[in-house]
Structure 1
């Protein structure tokens, strides 16, 4: 790869989320002298920035308005275009990689109108589907996609959505699945000391890792727990993450008197989080579609399999692309609590296979090294 790249993304650690971690994993594996990362300025970012070999530039990248019709939106894009132009010149950048179509892609598109800037844009699925509900945002996305050199989709599902919505005819879309760090996400023997410390002793631990938001489905899984507990009395649902639905989920646990069967965790360090993957019994992402908000892929499902765990996910978005259905994982209907309970109990009560079976699927399809090769090939086309 000869070109010098500027990654332009609001979502990047320490901001939580799969796309930010994807960017950290991917761009941190490229030659550091070929990458500059421009991301949002947040508190507590010094440790993350120190872990990245490439140059990291922190600037304000948040706005209450992303449209071009509002004064706030216009001011935001004006400042963003000027800042991006300055950074492209300062670091002698050949092309910009945008973390999303809106707003990062819009900024790159606007700059390209005046400078001929070459840019590529990541597509996550929920971004283009949500934009399609707004005439203004849909117009913006069409222009971003029209002028982009490549649209990097995180799944076949996201690619199909982009084409179905008329944002690309099929010439620009390429699929690059996120992966897992197979050196860190590894199977481990039962660690009784860790499980005891976490309050998991003698529990059948079902784990979910992800932002606490409706489409992740933690709420419906909690509603399904009374029926699940009838079949698995020692079931403990461990929810790791933070987000806007935390209060609602805590209240739901209180209403259903499920304190003994639900545990919330947040702010865990990386090693403790990985240990949770390694020491749980099953991993579930009970995602569902909320209006036009979908799960584009589901990195956490890949990470769980890398740790030798069977996975279960909702039949929405690109989650089925993370697993070998029927062997390393199952897809179920998570649109209601009743359907979750009905379909997941037989899965949870079936003995799991050897951890090697789940890990081998990841080793064959989702290592970062393999994805890095695909990414570089895309850049060199």
Structure 2
């Protein structure tokens, strides 16, 4: 029986898009066919005990391709008879590939998520990315933007790239979830709600939403912005809210477990994350699974035009793609969707149908299994 070793830094109970990606695919493997090697995380023991496969935690909080950690990965592959390895994020752990190959691993797949775009543009990191491409059988990409950005750094290995996208569980993120508890908890009552679910970092564009809110409220009195997430940008955002006098119109809900998100989408009228590219193209949005979750929940979306984010929206059908730096454009699209419930409803319906057809976890799992099989 073929067994797969997953080597990853990104695994729950840590929160994040890559963590959800790796976990969702890992849980679809048949019993006995998977083992995960990952980093130490607070609260991991209780979490791991509930999983249907073994998780081995390194003592370090960060897994790196050091000699010690590479030896550990090799030991695990040999001890558990793993003839397949999946690197949950290609860089930098894909540098372990040659050692695992020498240990008898027949097939290695490395998945990119977006931070590899930065690696592809920085000389030393670019060299490491080329080594990773040479050491594995397949490097996966999310969409055309990330493929075109990463491929030049891979050299000949670019010919062995394959698309592997995240999915959405449309049975969990759906229109009939009750959003009332969220509205009651945060005092939203029957106010029009704009939702943004994301880490609070400058690239995601929460500040643009805050700056757009006064314009939105001129046309949609009582509109409120609900921010779900945590991060280093929170203090800056709170200062901006205070300066604009929007304390009663912006709600900071903090970070939420992924399983707690469906009622937040259900409580919203529109989902918006006007992400923008920063640092001369080194910081970009790779895709944006939150757009697809919102679509599955039947909500129209407003997405920034950074990187691969437009791949998660059918512009004009499931929502709109905007310039994430343009406050007026963001405000106009939000007003349009909040003042035309029928248009918002139709976009939400089209978005859900698209997610169900093209963005299922089961479909992504079958693709991963095919890549690991060779």
Q: Which of 170, 174, 178 pairs up with 1:186?
A: 174
For the residue of structure 2 that corresponds to 1:160, the secondary structure is helix
The residue that corresponds to 2:309 in the other structure is: 319
**Would you say the 8 A contact 1:241–1:267 is kept in 2?**
yes
The answer as to whether partners of 2:227 and 2:253 remain within 8 angstroms in 1 is yes
Shift, 1:21, TM fit: 0.3
Measured on the aligned residues, the alpha-carbon RMSD in Å equals 2.3
Partner residue of 2:110? Answer: 121
Which sits farther off after the overlay, 291-300 or 260-269?
A: 260-269
Question: How far is the alpha carbon of 1:27 from its aligned partner?
Answer: 1.0
Structure 2-normalised TM-score? Answer: 0.91
How far does residue 158 in structure 1 lie from its aligned partner after superposition?
1.5
2:91 and 2:112 in contact (8 A); partners too: no
**Mapped contact 1:3–1:34 kept (Cα < 8 A):** yes
Matched, 1:205 2:193: yes
Aligned partner of 2:331 in structure 1 is: 341
Q: Do 2:39 and 2:62's aligned partners in 1 also have CA atoms closer than 8 Å?
A: no
Alignment pair present for 1:253 and 2:245: no
Q: Which runs of 5+ in 1 are unaligned?
A: 67-75
Per-residue deviation at 1:189? 6.3
Task: Give the deviation of 1:112 after TM superposition.
Answer: 4.3
Equivalence map 1:354-369=2 (5 Å): 354=346, 355-369=348-362
1:307 aligns with 2:297: yes
Deviations 1:111-154 (A, max 9, x none): 247546442111112x2221134321111111101221001112
Structure 1 distance, partners of 2:11, 2:297, is: 24
Within 5 Å, give how 1:230-245 maps onto structure 2.
230-245=218-233
**Structure 2 equivalent of residue 372 of structure 1:** 365
State the 1:63 CA deviation. 5.1
Deviations 1:16-71 (A, max 9, x none): 1101101111110111311111111111123432342111111145459x7xxxxx
Within 5 A, what are the aligned runs for 1:249-288?
A: 249-288=237-276
Change in Cα spacing, 1:366 to 1:47, as seen in structure 2 (3 Å) is farther
Task: Give 2:35's aligned residue.
Answer: 36
SS class of match (1:86): helix
Q: Distance in 2 between matches of 1:83 and 1:360?
A: 44
Q: Is the 8 A contact 1:323 1:361 kept in 2?
A: no
* Residue matched to 2:57: 58
Q: Deviation per CA, 1:242-300, whole angstroms, max 9, x where unpaired?
A: 11212211122112211111111124345542101112111112111112111111111
1:99 match:
88
Change (3 A) 1:176 1:270: closer
What is aligned with 2:345?
353
What is the CA-CA distance between 1:184 and the residue it aligns to?
A: 1.2
Shift of the alpha carbon at 1:233? 2.0
Alpha carbons 1:10, 1:61 under 8 Å: kept: no
- Contact kept in structure 2, 1:206 and 1:284, CA below 8 Å: yes
Structure-1-length-normalised TM-score? 0.89
CA distance in 1 between partners of 2:167 and 2:53 (Å):
20
